[in-house]
Amino acid sequence: MDTSESLFKLALKDRTKLREIETFMKSSLTSVNDVHESSSDRFEKFCKYFLGMSKLPQERAETRLKNGMVMIEKLRKENLTALPPIPQKQIDLDAPVKFAKKVGPFREEKLFRIGITTVRDLLYHFPRLYDDWRHPLSILNLRVGERVSAIAEVVNVEKRRVKGYTIVTAIVTDGFSNMYLVWFNQDYVYERIQDAKNLAFSGIVKNNYGQFQVVSPDFEVADDSPPKITPIYDLTAGISQKMMRLMIETNISFVHLIKEPLPQYIIEKRNLLGVKKTVYGIHFPKSEYHMRESKRRLVYEELFLLEASQLMTRLKFQSKGGIPKKFQGKLSQKFIESLPFKLTNAQKRAISEIEHDLSKPIAMNRLLQGDVGSGKTVVAESAMLHVIESGFQVAFMVPTYVLASQHYERLKADLQSQDITIELLTGSTSPSEKSRIKESISRGNVKIVVGTHALIQKDVSFNNLGLVIIDEQHKFGVKQREALMSKGKAVDTLVMTATPIPRTLSMTYYGDLDVTVIDEMPVGRKKPKTLLVSNSRRDEVFEFVKKEISKGTGVFWISPLVEESDKIDVKAAKEIYEEFVKGPFSNYSVGLLHGKMPSEEKIKVMERFRKKEVQILVSTTVIEVGIDIPHANIMVIEHPERFGLAQLHQLRGRIGRAGDKSYCFLITTGTEVERLRYFVHTFDGFSLSEYDLKLRGPGEFLGTRQHGLPEFKIADLFKDADVLFEAREDAKELLNGDPNLDSHPDLLEEIRRRYGERVKFVEVG
């Protein structure tokens, strides 16, 4: 099949002659007897279909070749895939896993640890990799530390006792060289392999005094039955690979009870396997084709279900309607005219898109994404003023007390001539002050309230909330965003982030939002000079910093940890602070900032740094987001290898904000140098985010999975970007015609099963 497909593709590109295909088909006819009896007739017809093709007109020959491609795929699906026997008894797939065969209460408790709670979960516990025991052993190609899966001839098997241990040793050969398979205290192995002629085995290769060896390999005697592709699963204590395979194999017939979630026309359009063959094939593939196509189907299915759920959320949100804001734009215009700089074209475009959203009878649900220093806050302020002019209130939620305080002070300064009441509400606000602010908010006297998670407390009620702005959404959970939105009727929502997110990740994490990107930096903003410095040259950095401080420059000195750790060899912020105060910077004013400090102390030290009373601020990444200190032009980052590139980019964005020359030093111990060198020479946040996503994966990129990004079993957002775009296109087409999925109840049921807790508006009926 593979050779036929390759020849057809070449012929369609005019790179092979039709006579070569005819010759190949004639030779293939002689092999019909080797094909299984049930398929031989079809295989013979397939070969004969292409005989005499060279005498046909070119157009007819091309049609026959294209038909051949379809026939190949059909033959593959019929002969290279399989289904298990239909189960004799029915079972509820959503029943507790203890009711699955070979499980019971004892193993159920252990399976809970790896997220297997139902029979369905067991079937959907997919292998992380496979042992392909069909390949002959090649000792010459073995590498120490790598996994080997092969079949080999047995030379000798022996069992001996050494110091109380039973050691079973099998010598196997590839015909040229020998290697050893060793099992400790596993007497049963000897009983099983002592008369074996061939063993299929897998394990990690070790070097034992110049001889290759595998200790405690998985194995099968391969004398009577042909070796196969064997799944390898993630396990937990008390469950072995053998036991996990047995549990899944014993219950695999229940794949017949899985409902097909994908519409048939999509399965045909994307040439996918059905769900039953897919789940069976991912565990126990009949062929490499079966395994490959099962993976492809599952990748598509995961991405399609997510995209469909996100698009449903958007459609449901829009169907609830909104309250059009009626504004003339006088407050916003007055504010923009007061700015000491001109807006960039990107800022103007963003303001225009938001104005359009606010004036529509559909609630705004928009992401404002822009690189560090691109001017998102000005755009947000313009939106606030439109909403206030329309008679509504604004809630501005940010992830940290420090950032909330900074936004509060900036808004007061920027809007002081507008006669707008602005309040700050955080967990650190005193009880009496909280009561006063909450009362004022409920009466409608407060027009803008800036705060942290305190804004979503039940006793915070608004008189007429019209706009919710959330800064750095990925620092919050999706439910927290929804909790704030629910404090008003058909509230407009603007989510802001300075973390440049690759398109694939943005589609999955922010898939229910319209997106505005500020892709232009203000005129005059200089790129910080970034240098990779060995830890052995810290003293040189000290001297450079001292010279810059004498010019009035402020310095950020960043550490990944607050305090020293016995487990991690990292210079912590407190340790650096004490070193500086007693040593190289004893004649300078050094401040300390970290997340464990009381909020009042954080504000105090930041204010002293802003007023230049503190010259060096030793800090953790609490300053990562939104901190704006105009005279800070030096950033020194200890152990940069412990940060993602997107996070390093955020930190670097804290300096040079007044347009002065700035410097970012990465003090490294020599690890991950290639990644850091890429950062040194790259200043585009989106390029860095793509590189970061490729290296670290989406979970690491955003921080933790609790932020609403689903964890895929099979799909990879970087490798499967093309599939993601196909899935989104298909989901959009489907939902345009059936927004509630009334005609696809099995699809809706699967979306609710997977994403019902994460996606707010996905409902039945």
Query: Per-residue DSSP letters for 179-212?
Result: EEEEEES-HHHHHHHTT-SEEEEEEEEEEETTEE
Q: Give the rounded percent of residues in the chain with a pLDDT score beyond 70.
A: 92
Judged against a pLDDT cut of 90, whether residue 204 lies above it is answered with yes
* HSE-up of residue 672 (Cα within 13 Å, Cβ side): 18
| Distance spanning both ends of the chain, measured CA to CA | 47
Determine contact, residues 200/219, Cβ cutoff 8 Å: yes
Judged against a pLDDT cut of 80, whether residue 346 lies above it is answered with yes
What's CA 588's distance to the chain center, in Å? 43
Per-residue three-class SS string for 725-759: HHHHHHHHHHHHHCCCCCCCHHHHHHHHHHHCCCC
Question: For residue 21, which of 55, 35, 40 has the smallest C-alpha distance?
Answer: 55
Confidence bin at 706 (pLDDT 50/70/90): very low
Token look-up 């509230």 returns 491
Q: Which region among 22-26, 440-444, 502-506 has the lowest average model confidence (pLDDT)? A: 502-506
Q: Which region among 73-77, 113-117, 747-751 has the lowest average model confidence (pLDDT)? A: 73-77
**Cα–Cα distance, 690 to 721 (Å, whole number):** 11
Arithmetic mean of pLDDT, 220-244: 87
Q: What pLDDT was estimated at residue 763?
A: 40
Q: What pLDDT was estimated at residue 475?
A: 63
* HSE-up of residue 572 (Cα within 13 Å, Cβ side): 13
Q: Is 394 helix (H, G, I), strand (E, B) or coil?
A: strand
Which residues, 6 or more positions from 207, have their beta carbon under 8 angstroms from its beta carbon? 144, 213
Q: Give the rounded percent of residues in the chain with a pLDDT score beyond 90.
A: 51
Judged against a pLDDT cut of 90, whether residue 745 lies above it is answered with yes
Q: What pLDDT was estimated at residue 314?
A: 81
Judged against a pLDDT cut of 60, whether residue 566 lies above it is answered with no
Top mean pLDDT of 40-49, 513-522, 747-756 is at 747-756
Q: Is 664 helix (H, G, I), strand (E, B) or coil?
A: strand
Confidence bin at 650 (pLDDT 50/70/90): confident
Determine contact, residues 499/646, Cβ cutoff 8 Å: yes
Q: What pLDDT was estimated at residue 696?
A: 66
Residue positions counted in the chain = 765
Residue ranges of domains in the chain, CATH in brackets = 2-79 (no CATH), 129-232 (2.40.50.140), 330-518 (3.40.50.300), 529-682 (3.40.50.300)
Arithmetic mean of pLDDT, 185-200: 93
Question: For residue 248, which of 81, 122, 91 has the smallest C-alpha distance?
Answer: 122
Supply the pTM of this predicted model.
Answer: 0.71
Arithmetic mean of pLDDT, 568-596: 87
Confidence bin at 761 (pLDDT 50/70/90): very low
Beta-sheet pairing, 218-221 with 365-370: unpaired
Arithmetic mean of pLDDT, 37-49: 74
Token look-up 């995961």 returns 302
**Cα–Cα distance, 82 to 85 (Å, whole number):** 10
Q: What is the mean pLDDT of the chain?
A: 87
Q: Which region among 7-11, 108-112, 195-199, 612-616 has the lowest average model confidence (pLDDT)? A: 7-11
Q: Which region among 295-299, 618-622, 753-757 has the lowest average model confidence (pLDDT)? A: 753-757
Per-residue three-class SS string for 229-252: EEEECCCCCCCCHHHHHHHHHHHH
Query: Which helix or strand (DSSP H or E) is residue 215 part of?
Result: strand 211-215
Q: Is 591 helix (H, G, I), strand (E, B) or coil?
A: strand
Judged against a pLDDT cut of 90, whether residue 3 lies above it is answered with no
Determine contact, residues 451/397, Cβ cutoff 8 Å: yes
Token look-up 């803008």 returns 448
Q: Is 365 helix (H, G, I), strand (E, B) or coil?
A: strand
